[in-house]
Amino acid sequence: MILVTGGTGTTGKEIIGELKRAGATNVRALVRDRAKAAFISDAGFELAEGDFDRPETLDAALEGVERALLLSPPSPQTFEQQRAFIEAAKRAGVRRVVKFSAIGANAEAPEGFAKWHGQAEEFLKSSGLAWTILQPNFFMQNLLGQARQIAADGRIYQPVGDARASFIDVRDIAAVAARTLTEEGHEGKSYVLTGPEALSYHDAAAKLSEATGREITYVAITPEQFREGALAAGLPEWLVGALERLNENLAAGRAAEVTDDVQKVAGREPIKFDKFARDYAQAFKSE
């Protein structure tokens, strides 16, 4: 039995699809709301109600599970939630946990996603469970969160100057995750998952322009403008702070590394930004 957590999220949905295409049948998904998970049951997979904020629900979800995907929603309690999951997995006799982490994860990093995932990685490695760690770079699909604004005024606003990042399509992350959950040979391995090229937001804007047939440009804003806009949009302080740390790492060039781990694990070349832009072009077009 494979347990998938986070199965209704952006990447989780793709992982469910990849497992279905791979012919996996003995799959269970931990979900908070069955109404949002109809596509999982339609795929023939089992549903278990529960969530990371209710650790008492984890034991039942993990019963009979051999491999588990640990993918929790963004939260300042990431480490505490994932520690509780790992402890429950150990009690349940899970053989291996595939942890969805983040590029640059480091327990000594400043407060934010890198630190929380780094702490959880260290705890998993010391737990006695077999483990596999996935460290994806910035998602191409994150731009979809700005799609309405980009469609309206034709601009991408980010506080990272001309820095480049090896953005990755979540479909590639899902392909790797499905392989690590269904195959042997990934125990004790960490995979840094990137796209095939390091691009600036100027590059991304040019590719979106070509795909949509309209001019889209990148406007480099200041960190102060980013903070002001994020808070005005209603993002909580903890999330704004965590995003600021991500932006600092990108601006410093720490997200530009290109690896061959997608090809090595999934057996295919990673998706280029050009294809992402074509596939999602409609979202960035003005009505």
Lowest mean per-residue pLDDT among 51-55, 202-206, 219-223: 51-55
What per-residue confidence (pLDDT) applies to 149? 93
Which DSSP category does 204 fall into?
H
With the CA atoms of 179, 181, 186 and 190 taken in that order, what torsion angle do they form, in degrees rounded to the nearest 10?
A: 90
DSSP H or E run through 55: none
Answer yes or no: is pLDDT of 286 > 80: no
User: Per the structure block, which two tokens stand in for 219?
Assistant: 């406007």
Write the pLDDT tens digit of every residue in 13-58: 999 999 999 999 899 999 998 888 999 999 999 999 999 999 999 9
Q: What is the distance between the alpha carbons of residues 179 and 23, in angstroms, rounded to a whole number?
A: 11
| SS3 state at 2 | strand
Instruction: Identify residue 138 by its one-letter amino acid code.
Output: F
| SS3 state at 233 | coil
Answer yes or no: is pLDDT of 4 > 90: yes
CATH number of 144-164+196-256+269-284: 3.90.25.10
What per-residue confidence (pLDDT) applies to 114? 96
Q: pLDDT band at residue 287, thresholds of 50, 70 and 90?
A: low
Non-local CB neighbours of 43 within 8 Å, separated by 6+ positions: 16, 17, 19, 20
Q: Which CATH class is domain 2-139+168-193?
A: alpha beta
Contact by Cβ (8 Å): 172, 191: no
**Between residues 158 and 10, which one has the greater pLDDT?**
158
Q: Matching CATH topology for 2-139+168-193 and 144-164+196-256+269-284?
A: no
Can you tell me the mean pLDDT for 173-199?
Answer: 97
Cross-strand partners of 217: 155
What per-residue confidence (pLDDT) applies to 144? 96
Can you tell me the mean pLDDT for 203-208?
Answer: 98
State the DSSP string of 244-287.
HHHHHHHHTTTT----SHHHHHHSSPPPPHHHHHHHTGGGGS--
What per-residue confidence (pLDDT) applies to 141? 97
Answer yes or no: is pLDDT of 124 > 90: yes
Write the pLDDT tens digit of every residue in 255-279: 999 999 999 999 999 999 999 999 9
pTM score, whole prediction = 0.95
Non-local CB neighbours of 145 within 8 Å, separated by 6+ positions: none
Answer yes or no: is pLDDT of 240 > 70: yes
Averaged confidence pLDDT in the chain: 96
Can you tell me the mean pLDDT for 228-239?
Answer: 96
Contact by Cβ (8 Å): 44, 15: no
Q: Domain boundaries in the chain?
A: 2-139+168-193, 144-164+196-256+269-284
Query: Measuring CA to CA, how many Å separate 173 from each of 61, 104, 170?
Result: 24, 16, 5
164-165/199-200 β-pairing: antiparallel
